[in-house]
Each structure stands twice: as structure tokens, then as C-alpha cells.
């Protein structure tokens, strides 16, 4: 059957695991609970156990495993070092490939979960076929993952792609989670869209579908689809901020494609009606033709990308457990 690879996505509640063939086809996926007791000391042993169990079940020998890729919620340097721990797991800083390598003697590569998900989208999702991509995750915050020539751009301290914290608004009075003011994610995340909506609704009494019930990114874009004028104004503000921010990103890395994912992206292609014209307006001419696509792998982007660390050469070649 050729060599296989495992892609592991460690989250705060569950660990997602995937078994892939050598071409990156997902053969099987499953989950185990994340046990965060005692500084998360059981998480990696459980992962190893689960992988070894699957190998026994499928009669896969160690030499048939090309490697294990693992994405974790924290800054990971190019060597696979978890630089400053992972608060959601209770982990302190340590070298992930080395630690997991104590249980299984195959190649192991680790990276940040958002970057790994970006690699997944580039390899098998919305960015497939492209050489350079910026993945934009519009969730509670605005995350980013940058892939250049099929490799994750990690940055000096693991913070490359933190595009949600580009300063975009001088007039902001409220603090962002990062303690700065006026960060992109204060306007373009799910939470940011709700803020923009509440601000707009408080401005006057113009009738709007949004005046009934709780406002969310979903209700805003549902109202946009229904032709609601106030919702459209909110979407325009959102598009102005995000388009302008992504134009700045394009001046720096000039990607072939932006792939938009995260909860907000469930609104679908209509997002592009608001983001793309503003992007093209603010972009440097040579960067203006970047493509836009929706993420397609959903919650599986992490396991795909983790397997991609091994199979698509998406991590720096320095890191390995052996």
C-alpha cells in the first residue's frame, strides 16, 4: 500500500487524528479526548497510544510510516519547539518531535495549528494548485497562515501570519485582546462584525431585520442576503476593513491566492462581494489580481495540513525526531 502518514490536530477539547496514504488521501479519521490534567502530561502519550493502536489494527509497521505531523495551539518554531507553551493544553515549552519521538520511532514534525490548517487548505483545499497562499480564518478572532512555495512561513518567534493584529483604525477606543487598539480582528472577526452591527444599529432607528433577536455574524449576512439595507452597510464596513488589511498583506508577501475560512466564511461567496472590491481598490497594482477562494476542508484542514508537514514537505527540513 506504500507508506502512510498520520496527521494530528491537537485541540483544547479533542485531538483529531487522520491516517493518510502517501498521496494525501484521507483513509480514516477519528478523535480522542484531550486530557488536560497535570499540565497536559497525558496528551502526547494518548496520541502515541492511539497511533500505535491504529497501526496494530491495520497491520502497519513502523517502516511503513512516512511520518507523523502534528499541529498544536501555540507558537512553534521551525525546529518543532513549542516556544512559549500552549495555554489551552496546559503545556509549557518543549520540543514536540523529541517528546512524541520517545514513543514512536518515525519522522515527526510539529507546527502551529493555524499554520497547519493553512497548509492543509493549500495542499488539498481551497488553495490547491497554487504556490503561495494566505489563509485567513474569520472566527472569534482573525487568524492567518502564510504558505510560500508549499512551506509554512513561521516567523522569527512563530508569529508570522498574525494578520488579525495589523493596526487598521486610529480612532478605536476599545482594547483588542492583544492590548493594542484598532487591530483588524476588532472589525473583521465574528465578534468584530457584531461590534460593527451594534454600533450601526445604535446610530439611528432605520428598520432592519437585525433589530429582532440576537445579532451574530450569521444573522448579519443572512440579512445581507435578504437585501436588508442596514446589514449591507455593516457588510460594507467589514469589507472596507478586511479588504484594506489584506491589501497590506499583499504588499508584503504578494500571494497568489487568499483562502477565507472560519465560522464567518459559512456566509459563502457573498463575502467576496464586500471584501474583493475593497482589496482591489487598496492593493498595489502588481498585487491586485490575487485570487480569492473559500476554504473547503472545514474541521479537517488541521489533520490534512499535519499530514502535509510530512507528505507535502510543508515544514522546514531542520526538524525531525531522528
What minimum distance in Å lies between the beta carbon of 82 and a second copy?
13
Any contact of residue 215 with a second copy (CB under 8 A)? no
Our CB check for a second copy shows the closer of 241 and 304 to be 241
What minimum distance in Å lies between the beta carbon of 286 and a second copy?
4
Distance CA(207)–CA(166), nearest Å, equals 34
State the binding string over 145-184 for a second copy (x if CB under 8 A, else -).
-x-xx---xxxxxxxxxxxxxxx----------xxx----
Our CB check for a second copy shows the closer of 146 and 210 to be 146
Our CB check for a second copy shows the closer of 138 and 247 to be 247
What minimum distance in Å lies between the beta carbon of 159 and a second copy?
4
What minimum distance in Å lies between the beta carbon of 125 and a second copy?
18
State the binding string over 118-147 for a second copy (x if CB under 8 A, else -).
-------------xx-----------x-x-
Ranges within 262-281 binding a second copy (CB under 8 A): 281
State the binding string over 233-252 for a second copy (x if CB under 8 A, else -).
-----------x--xxxxxx
Angle at 153 between CA 124 and CA 74, to 5 degrees: 90
What minimum distance in Å lies between the beta carbon of 165 and a second copy?
4
Any contact of residue 289 with a second copy (CB under 8 A)? yes
Any contact of residue 256 with a second copy (CB under 8 A)? yes
Our CB check for a second copy shows the closer of 171 and 205 to be 171
In contact, 313 and 24? CB cutoff 8 Å: no
Distance CA(220)–CA(209), nearest Å, equals 9
Which set of grid coordinates corresponds to residue 27? 483513509
What is the binding site for a second copy (CB under 8 A)? 75, 78, 131-132, 144, 146, 148-149, 153-167, 178-180, 244, 247-256, 281-282, 284-287, 289-290, 316
Amino acid at each position: 500500500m506504500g507508506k502512510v502518514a498520520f496527521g494530528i490536530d491537537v485541540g483544547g477539547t479533542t485531538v483529531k487524528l487522520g491516517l493518510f496514504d502517501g498521496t494525501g488521501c484521507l483513509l480514516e479519521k477519528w478523535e480522542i479526548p484531550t486530557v488536560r490534567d497535570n499540565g497536559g502530561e497525558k496528551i502526547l502519550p494518548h496520541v502515541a497510544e492511539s497511533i500505535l493502536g491504529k497501526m496494530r489494527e491495520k497491520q502497519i509497521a513502523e517502516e511503513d510510516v512516512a511520518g507523523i505531523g502534528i499541529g498544536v495551539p501555540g507558537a512553534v518554531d521551525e525546529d518543532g519547539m513549542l516556544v512559549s507553551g500552549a495555554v489551552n493544553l496546559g503545556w509549557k515549552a518543549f520540543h514536540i518531535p523529541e517528546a512524541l519521538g520517545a514513543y514512536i520511532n518515525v519522522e515527526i514534525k510539529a507546527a502551529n495549528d493555524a499554520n497547519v490548517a493553512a497548509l492543509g487548505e493549500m495542499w488539498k483545499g481551497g488553495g490547491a494548485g497554487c504556490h503561495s497562499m494566505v489563509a485567513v480564518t474569520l472566527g472569534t478572532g482573525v487568524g492567518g497562515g502564510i504558505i510560500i512555495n508549499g512551506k509554512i512561513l513561521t516567523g522569527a518567534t512563530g508569529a508570522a501570519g498574525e494578520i488579525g493584529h495589523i493596526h487598521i483604525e486610529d480612532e478605536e477606543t476599545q482594547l483588542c485582546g492583544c492590548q493594542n487598539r484598532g487591530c483588524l480582528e476588532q472589525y473583521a472577526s465574528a465578534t468584530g462584525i457584531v461590534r460593527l452591527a451594534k454600533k450601526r444599529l445604535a446610530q439611528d432607528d432605520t428598520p432592519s431585520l437585525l433589530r429582532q433577536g440576537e445579532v451574530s455574524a450569521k444573522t448579519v449576512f443572512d440579512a445581507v442576503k435578504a437585501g436588508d439595507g442596514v446589514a449591507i452597510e455593516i457588510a460594507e464596513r467589514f469589507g472596507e476593513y478586511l479588504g484594506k488589511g489584506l491589501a497590506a498583506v499583499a504588499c508584503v508577501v504578494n500571494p497568489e491566492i487568499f483562502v477565507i475560512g472560519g465560522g464567518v466564511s459559512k456566509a459563502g461567496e457573498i463575502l467576496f462581494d464586500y471584501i474583493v472590491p475593497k482589496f482591489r481598490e487598496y492593493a498595489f497594482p502588481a498585487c491586485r489580481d490575487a485570487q480569492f477562494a473559500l476554504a473547503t476542508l472545514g474541521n479537517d484542514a488541521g489533520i490534512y495540513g499535519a499530514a502535509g508537514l510530512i507528505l507535502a514537505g510543508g515544514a522546514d527540513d531542520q526538524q525531525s525526531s531522528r
